[in-house]
Structure 1
Amino acid sequence: MKKTETMTAFLGKDTEFEGKLTFHGTIRIDGHFKGEISADGSLIIGEGAMIEANMHISYILISGEIHGNIIADDRIEIHPAGKVFGDIQAPTVVIDEGSIFEGNCRMHRAKEADESKLAVIELDGYTADTAPALGTIHGIVTGHPLQSPEPIHDILTARENKNTAEPIKGTKVSAKCKGFAEKNTRTDDSGYYELTDLEDGRWKLKVEAKGYEAVKATVEISGGGVYEQDFEYP
């Protein structure tokens, strides 16, 4: 489980922006952005987002589509629904099975992070106040194919089926925390889920996939931020 900085802005699904985007903190884009991105912080590209931009950032998580070159000082993650058409460069690069990447990849040594910067977002000269410190939990739910009722005679095929985890779509993911309303969502076709607007506290997650036993995890949110919690069924 990883935590990034406090979420400072959110560009929704039906929004369109063109220009230069500069920010500190964490921003999520689900809409269409065209231009240039420069950030000392974390960028989350949601599924369905379209980005046409070269960018230099600290950390990026990609579930949408990007056309442009990416330089990250910390980490680049391309999730199963993600598509990147351009060159990427970072100390750590994670490309999940099912994602699309067309370009060159270069890895370099990480720089020291400056954790003292304030969370501020600037878009074409406009500076916005930071949003309330609410948390987000996201991740991927995967599982190994259920055993076939018919005998498998091909030993190699059986071994591959056992060792290959696949995204599980339509899985119910719920989160409970004492004193707050329960949050619920379902995974998309890539097995990705996201729970947003979570207050500080110990959130108990429960994942219920058809044909599998329920699995649980606990994520403690402190000061808002973005947390990653993946689930893999045996």
Structure 2
Amino acid sequence: MKSKSKRSGLSGAAATVGKTAVAGYGLSMGHDLWKATKKGKDGISIILVVVGSLVLPVLGGRELVRGHDRGFAGTIFKTILGSVLLTAVGFALTWFAFFILIGILAGSSDDNGTANIFASWQAVLWLATWVTGTMWCIGLLWGAIQRPSRLKRIGLHRANERFLETQGFRTTDGDDITHFDPHGQPLRFIEAHSDRLVFMAVGKRGKRGYINLDAEGRMVSYSGVV
């Protein structure tokens, strides 16, 4: 039976081989994609990798700070871990995209001097980190700009939910009857205006019910069926 140290050594060796293999695959893929491009074939793989490498870190940064209506578990798994996952995948795509770029540079020229500048995976790792970090910061800025309006909207939503609960409104899953008002009158939601929500009183011809709104969209009163 192999000792723990030997198993650890094999794991380390496998990890090193894995890094080398990924780098080699990226270079090879770059060569192949360059040949495909020269033959007029679709370069969609390059586009997807590049777009993903730029967009995912931005989304990761944005989702981390833009504000969400989530509980403790949702904050941990969706907001924090979800943002970390988006950024990590974006970083991996960026790292891979640089190796594809090396392959394209090498495949498009007989002079490999330009490609040799990026020959070490450490240099590519640094470049990928810089690009991912920059895009992540852009996402943070985007999320910070959105945060005040989103938190305000979330606050209004919570306040309106409290209003409906306090007033005794009940929501149904139907289309003909969408709500019951505090007196048990079945209502059908019709339309929304800037100052009120309009309901039709089911079973009472020409009768309506209104939930009045303030200037920010907060529910303030119910008219009853009139």
TM-score (norm 1): 0.23
Rg larger in 1 or in 2?
2
Structure that is richer in strand per residue: 1
- Structure with the higher fraction of residues in helix conformation: 2
TM-score (norm 2): 0.24
